[in-house]
Amino acid sequence: MSAAVYYGPRDIRVENVVKPTLEESTDAVVRVTHTAVCGSDLWFYRGKTDRDIPSRVGHEPMGIVEEVGDDVQSVDVGDRVFAPFKISCGMCEFCRRGLHTSCVNGDGWGDDNGGAQGEVIRCRHADGTLVRVPDAYANDDSALRSILPLTDVMGTGHHAAVSAGVSAGSTCVVVGDGAVGLCGVLAARRLGAARIVAVGHHPDRLSLASEFGATDTVSARGQEAIETVQEMTGGGAEHVLECVGATSAMETAVEVCRPGGTVGYVGVPHGLDDGLDLFSFFGDNITLQGGVAPVRAYADELLADVLQGTLDPAPVFTKTVDLDSISEGYQAMDERDAIKVLVEI
């Protein structure tokens, strides 16, 4: 089978690899039909973080179940399913409390199970990990495009909003206009926020933020962004979604947070090499809540909304490629020509 393989910065190749097969009775083998390139993939693509060379990549799989182990109960051969970026058992203390990313039996996608940017994956703990798409939508390509972001960015944006404590009537600020930030806007609107200020610096993305429900957009960075938002909100918002993961974004987030407020953060903190300056949080009792998003915990409720037509993150996909052209997808993300790239396999 074919799969994307990382060979070093800006070097993604599609190679013939061994197809994964069932190994345990709780496994499912899934033929991937849709996947995506993630903003977090850019960290290794740009050489900013280490990664084994060669190594299998991708962590946002959707497809059709091809084979199931004897103990798998929730999905069957032929079912349309998707999986979050983390495998989780669904039965441990942390899965039961909705923190699937801390699953004691958890795992990621990679060499040993196929990597989600490939034709076939082996999903451990299929019952705890896979989410079944109702048959009525199983071959509805439009619906599938809207569902695919639930594998990562939509759940992550939602986690930012939940972590920031957004609720009906809230004023919130979303820092970052990438796919996660845009999904954060959708999530904040879905949770009933009355005012949503989106901060970024790409006019096209901020325009999409407005379509998604942002009531205000700020196209600026650093001190200019901070002052603008401070003025708009009369001293900051109680709920701030940090959807980037870089030092500068975290600094902006805390500065636009009202004293006693909460920064919900979901951006992988790769850029915080120098560490986080805690003084800005300390003096005004600003809470820092969030982390890697337990997307599986949110999948069912978000899926219900997508299927009802009240939530549609599909517009974050501004480019579609096939697996053979996936390196073009990475390049478009790297050059910010695409917000997020869908990969059809």
Instruction: From 99-107, 108-116, 187-195, 196-204, give the range in contact with its own copies by CB under 8 A.
Output: 99-107
Task: State the nearest-atom distance from the C-beta of 103 to its own copies, in Å.
Answer: 9
Taking CA atoms, 111 is separated from 29, 41, 126, in Å, by 15, 15, 18
Q: Of 52, 112, 277, 322, which one interacts with its own copies (CB under 8 A)?
A: 277
Q: Is 265 in the site for its own copies (CB under 8 A)?
A: yes
Secondary element (H or E) of residue 39: none
Q: How many CB atoms lie within 10 A of CB 206?
A: 22
Where does 103-261 have alpha helices with state H?
A: 126-129, 141-147, 153-163, 179-190, 203-212, 222-232, 247-255
Q: Is 279 in the site for its own copies (CB under 8 A)?
A: yes
| Contact status, residue 51 vs residue 43, Cβ threshold 8 Å | no
| Contact status, residue 55 vs residue 112, Cβ threshold 8 Å | no
Tokens 């006693």, located at residue: 260
Q: Is 282 in the site for its own copies (CB under 8 A)?
A: yes
Instruction: From 73-81, 215-223, 225-233, 285-293, give the range in contact with its own copies by CB under 8 A.
Output: 285-293
Q: Of 286, 299, 311, 326, which one interacts with its own copies (CB under 8 A)?
A: 286
| Contact status, residue 200 vs residue 180, Cβ threshold 8 Å | no
* Euclidean distance between CA atoms 42 and 338, whole angstroms: 13
Question: How many residues bind to its own copies according to rule CB under 8 A?
Answer: 31
Q: Is 101 in the site for its own copies (CB under 8 A)?
A: yes
Tokens 């199931």, located at residue: 68
Site for its own copies in 163-202 (CB under 8 A): 163
Q: Is 278 in the site for its own copies (CB under 8 A)?
A: yes
Q: Which is nearer to its own copies, 278 or 304 (CB)?
A: 278
Q: Of 58, 157, 178, 294, which one interacts with its own copies (CB under 8 A)?
A: 294
Instruction: From 45-53, 97-105, 219-227, 320-328, give the range in contact with its own copies by CB under 8 A.
Output: 97-105
C-alpha torsion sign, points 68, 144, 292, 94: negative
First to last CA, the chain: 11
Q: Of 3, 268, 306, 321, which one interacts with its own copies (CB under 8 A)?
A: 268
Q: Is 16 in the site for its own copies (CB under 8 A)?
A: no
| Contact status, residue 184 vs residue 213, Cβ threshold 8 Å | no
Cα dihedral: 294, 221, 312, 142 (round 10): -100
Q: Is 246 in the site for its own copies (CB under 8 A)?
A: no
Q: Of 16, 70, 73, 275, which one interacts with its own copies (CB under 8 A)?
A: 275
* Euclidean distance between CA atoms 34 and 56, whole angstroms: 16
Q: Is 107 in the site for its own copies (CB under 8 A)?
A: no
User: Helix 203-212 vs helix 179-190: angle between axes, to the nearest 10 degrees?
Assistant: 20
Q: Which is nearer to its own copies, 1 or 99 (CB)?
A: 99
Instruction: From 45-53, 173-181, 200-208, 277-285, give the range in contact with its own copies by CB under 8 A.
Output: 277-285
**x-or-dash pattern for its own copies, window 118-157, by CB under 8 A?**
----------------------------------------
Q: Is 96 in the site for its own copies (CB under 8 A)?
A: no
Contact footprint for its own copies (CB under 8 A): 94, 97, 99, 101-102, 163, 259-260, 265, 268-269, 272, 274-279, 281-292, 294
